[in-house]
Amino acid sequence: MSTSTVAELLKDKANQSPDHRLFSVGPEVVVSEAVALMVKSGISSVLITESGEMLGLITLRELLKGLNTHGGALMQATCRNVMKVNPPVAKPDDTVDHLRGLMTELHITHVPVMDHGALVGILSFHDIARSAIKDVDFENKLLKQYIRNWPE
């Protein structure tokens, strides 16, 4: 069970990528532009914002649902018509275990992080997996040190 927080995950993510920033488009932007941004930036989600407020989120899942709904016209649809409205959010003081449970229970891969109404980041299941690997490596190192120093 991890006691790490969402704030720590965000900090670790920022350290992994110094150019870390939030990628967003407006609700009336066509999906083709959002997809182009995702491909160019190497990301798997884009926030939909207007006047500094988060309205929704587009991930690969929303694109697949949009393709099912709009067919070949998906790329000309607006992000407003494809986005997940009011996606679940996390707070910086939430635990990573809580976030992992939320994502698993709701079958979602990305969660925006809000701090007192302000969007401060977004975390993906990949970020949680990277954190878990780091935690296991640290515990493994401690166990090996303990075993090496076992009293005779």
pLDDT at 14: 81
Q: How does pLDDT run across 116-148, given as a tens digit for each residue?
A: 999 999 999 888 877 666 665 556 666 677 677
Using DSSP bridges, classify how beta strands 53-59 and 45-50 pair: parallel, antiparallel or unpaired: antiparallel
As a whole number of angstroms, the distance between CA 26 and CA 29 comes to 6
For residue 60 the two structure tokens come to 């690969």
Task: State the CATH class of domain 6-148.
Answer: alpha beta
Using DSSP bridges, classify how beta strands 118-124 and 24-25 pair: parallel, antiparallel or unpaired: unpaired
For residue 28 the two structure tokens come to 């009336």
Give the confidence band of 92 by pLDDT, cuts at 50, 70, 90: very high
| Cα of 54 vs its chain's centroid, Å | 14
Residue of 99, 93, 110 whose CA lies nearest to 7 = 93
Q: List the chain domain ranges.
A: 6-148
For residue 71, pLDDT beyond 90: yes
List all residues 6 or more positions away from 138 whose beta carbon is below 8 Å from its beta carbon: none
Q: How does pLDDT run across 9-52, given as a tens digit for each residue?
A: 998 888 777 666 889 999 999 999 999 999 999 999 999 999 98
For residue 89 the two structure tokens come to 């959010």
Separation in Å, CA 11 to CA 22, 31, 80, 122: 14, 30, 30, 11
For residue 4, pLDDT beyond 90: no
As a whole number of angstroms, the distance between CA 35 and CA 25 comes to 10
- Mean pLDDT over 57-64 rounds to 97
CA atoms within 13 A on the CB side of 93: 2
Note the helical H segments in 1-152. Answer: 6-16, 31-41, 60-70, 96-106, 125-148
pLDDT at 21: 81
pTM: 0.82
